[in-house]
Amino acid sequence: MSEETHSGMRNKFLVVVDDTPECKSAIRFASRRAWHVGGGVILLYVIEPPEFQHWMGVEQAMREEAREAAEELLQNLAEEIQKETTIVPEFAIRDGLKKEEVLALIEEDSDIRVLVLAASPDTGGPGPLIKSLVGEMSGTFAIPITVVPGNLTNRQLDAVT
């Protein structure tokens, strides 16, 4: 399959990466779906500001450590994706609030066609990002949002992609 649509743009699936177990479900869904349709994957990691503001030097060191950890995590995920699908995902690491950074990236990259999020299998309900984007903004959101249940097995995820 061609990696470009007839308009010359590449369809990309955006996944917000964090350290939750269900994030792996979103990544698997997005990468396998992108592979099937000849698209790409963007992994977005957002470094949110600390709740407690530290002294300038301490805060800067914490940000640098967070960025290094994010780069390592994204590199490891990219290797897994490439091994499974041959897709080489793009990375984006941003400082800010998740919702704002997701919206900004979607606005900046017109090739992003689907946002893929994973819902926690816990009974506490969806996380704040899903509540905000799927609930409050669903009628006005610029692209489709796919919410993947975090408790699906790899076999189940493969079957729906």
Domains, the chain, in order of start with CATH, read 12-160 (3.40.50.620)
Q: How far apart are CA 151 and CA 61, in angstroms?
A: 36
User: What band does 146 get if pLDDT is binned at 50, 70 and 90?
Assistant: very high
**pLDDT, the chain, mean:** 85
Half-sphere exposure in the Cβ direction for 124 (13 Å, CA): 5
The reported pLDDT for the residue numbered 34 is 96
Q: What is the pTM of this model?
A: 0.85
Cβ-contact 147, 118 below 8 angstroms: yes
The pLDDT tens digits of the residues spanning 32-77 come to: 999 999 999 999 999 988 766 656 667 778 888 999 999 999 999 9
**Can you say whether residue 8 is alpha, beta or left, with left for phi > 0 and alpha for psi between -120 and 50 degrees?**
left
Worst-scoring range by mean pLDDT, 39-48, 91-100, 116-125, 147-156? 116-125
